[in-house]
Amino acid sequence: MTDKDLEIVLRCRSGDEEAFTDFVLHYTPYVYRTAVAFLHDRTEAEDLTQEIFLKVHRSLSQLHDLRTFPAWFKRLITNACLDHLKKKTPVPTAEFELDRAAPSGPEQWETRLVLREALAGLSLEQRQVLLLREWQGYEYREIAELMGIPLGTVKSRLFSARAHLKNVLEEEPRVRGTSTGRDR
Amino acid sequence: MECRDCLELISEYVDGELPLKRVSDLENHLEGCSACRASERELRELRRELRGAVESLVPPRGLEERILRSLWVSERKARQVRTVWTALLLAALFCPFFLFLSPVFAMFLNLAYVSTDALWRAGFTLLKSAPAPLSLSLGVAGLLVMGLGAYLVRRILRDIPANEVFS
């Protein structure tokens, strides 16, 4: 977190509405990406992103130590996503749509597209654990606490999720030889 | 260490979650096994690609504006609710005070009633004794003055920032 980020948060906490506009502009991509990755539904992710910012706006004044903001914010987003998934009735996973953004090269673009489709193919539990680790950067112990599952389950879900993604990438003709199989 | 054991532990190893006592065993095995080394590289690559896959998701156009709009709407609603509650609370707090002073208020009300009554009576007596056109004109002028007074009071009250005071 840079000094500028800290300054924005500090101004937001004191009720500066202009600072909160900057805050929303700065953090919307991160919050939205996290929500889409967890929910696999763009419309719901948009609604959840709005809810998350609303929660931040209401509770930021209660944050006493600014240094804890990154962890506090990350936890708030994670809990919102997990709570939303708990309330939601399971439906067959929707496929990600193509983005307006194109990653650097066509090979990378294919790999990312396939990976996102593969993520949709994971079980909800595996996806949650994988995203908490890879995207949110939580330690195994923290993931176990957040999800209320034993540490061993975290490890096994993570292992199977990665194995699944690896298999999908290896079997996928579009990316075979461009990504993980490249080193062979 | 066998390749099978190594492959089971690689996931924890690349996450930095493998207990130290097992790390050296695993690293020794990796040094001598190119297949397991390739698996480790693949896993690290997969992690990088996965983060890239999520990072390449782009928020739809105008999402930020929609978020800000919904925020201000909800903030305004919350402020209105706060205003109502504050007003109710203030009324509840002042109720005992008003009850305590009710005889004084009653006295003032009575005085106002008596003096207004006397004023109206005097006015009517004067109007009745005056010629009809003059009495009609005075009546209309009186009504206009009352209307103007009501309008001025409304203007004065409208400029009071009641919402800000209550919230």
With an 8 Å Cβ cutoff, are A49 and B53 in contact? no
Instruction: Give me the pLDDT at residue B113, please.
Output: 94
Mean pLDDT of A87-102: 51
Nearest-CB residue to A50 (from B43, B60, B70):
B70
Task: Kindly determine whether residue B53 and residue A36, on different chains, have CB atoms separated by under 8 Å.
Answer: no
Span A175-182, average pLDDT: 47
Give pLDDT, residue B159: 61
**Paired tokens of A80:** 């919102």
Work out the pLDDT band at A184, boundaries 50, 70, 90: very low
pLDDT surpassing 80 at residue A173:
no
Mean model confidence pLDDT for chain B: 85
Distances (CA, A) of A140 to A70, A72, A150, A158, B127: 19, 18, 10, 9, 94
Chain A: closest CA distance from residue B105 (Å): 42
d(CA A157, CA A120): 15
The domains located in chain A, with CATH, are 1-91 (1.10.1740.10), 94-184 (1.10.10.10)
pLDDT for B2-21, tens place per residue? 888 888 888 889 889 888 88
Q: Residue B38: inside a domain, yes or no? A: yes
CA B109 – CA B78 distance, rounded (Å): 38
Range of the domain at B21: 3-55
Q: What is the mean pLDDT of chain A?
A: 80
Q: pLDDT digits over A34-77, tens only?
A: 999 888 888 899 999 999 999 998 888 888 888 888 899 999 99
pLDDT band at B156 (very low <50, low <70, confident <90, very high): confident
Structural domain total, chain B: 1
Whether A40 contacts A120, CB under 8 Å: yes
B152 touches chain A (CB under 8 A): no
Residue of A nearest to B63 (CA): A46
Instruction: Sort out which chain B residues have CB atoms less than 8 A from A183's CB and list them.
Output: 38, 41-42, 45
ipTM above 0.95, yes or no: no
Contact B45 A184 (CB under 8 A): no
Q: Using 50, 70 and 90 to split pLDDT, how confident is the model at A109?
A: low
Spatial separation of the C-alpha atoms in residues A67 and A82, rounded to whole Å: 24
> Which tops the pLDDT comparison, A64 or A140?
A140
Determine contact: B70 vs chain A, CB below 8 A. Answer: yes
Residue B152 lies in a domain: no
Whole-number Å distance between alpha carbons of B111 and B133? 33
Nearest-CA distance A112 → chain B (Å): 4
Across the interface, whether the CB atoms of B11 and A159 are under 8 A apart is answered: yes
